Amino acid sequence: MDKDGSGQLTEQEFDELAENDEVLAHLASVGIDGFRMKGIFKLLDLDASGTLSVDEVVTGCLNIQSQAKAIDMLALLHDNKRMERMLQELRRAVEFQATLNSGIMKL
């Protein structure tokens, strides 16, 4: 992690963490896609110091987790609307078929 003991993570240290299987597993356990962590150093570096403090990492991970949940919710909403449309089309097709069948039965 913090190889130089500065209490800050450099971009190189952060990128190495983003490739660590144990870190990736921990991130996944709290709902964060760890594979997206690589390359977001500058987004997390709120004070543009070139290093990340513990606060910046924690705040950034919480924001990522919240955004991931929001994106997941939007995807679920989209899928739900699509399924609703498909079910409505199916209902109309079944009703149409029932109408045709009832007309044939009367003949």
**What pLDDT, in 10s, does the model give residues 69-83?**
666 666 777 788 889
Q: How far is CA 92 from CA 1, 80, 87, 89, in A?
A: 60, 18, 9, 5
Residue 70 belongs to what domain range?
9-78
**Cα–Cα distance, 36 to 23 (Å, whole number):** 13
**Residue 95, domain member (yes or no):** no
Number of neighbouring beta carbons within 10 Å of residue 17: 20
**70 backbone dihedrals φ, ψ, rounded to 5°:** -65, -40
86 pLDDT above the threshold of 90: yes
- Does residue 105 lie in a domain region? no
Q: Judge whether 91 lies within some domain.
A: no
Q: Predicted confidence band at 67 (pLDDT cuts at 50, 70, 90)?
A: low
The answer as to whether 56 is a domain residue is yes
Average pLDDT over residues 84-107: 87
**What total of structural domains would you count in the chain?**
1
DSSP letter at 48 equals -
Instruction: With 0.85 as the threshold, say if the pTM is over it.
Output: no
**Nearest-5° angle of CA 96, CA 100, CA 105?**
145
**Most confident segment among 56-65, 66-75, 77-86:** 77-86
Residue 83 inside a domain? The answer is no
Specify the higher pLDDT residue, 57 or 51.
51
Residue recorded with tokens 């739900």: 80
Residue 25 lies in a domain: yes
pLDDT digits (tens, 9 = 90+) for 15-54: 888 888 888 887 777 667 666 666 677 778 888 898 988 8
Domain-located, residue 93 = no
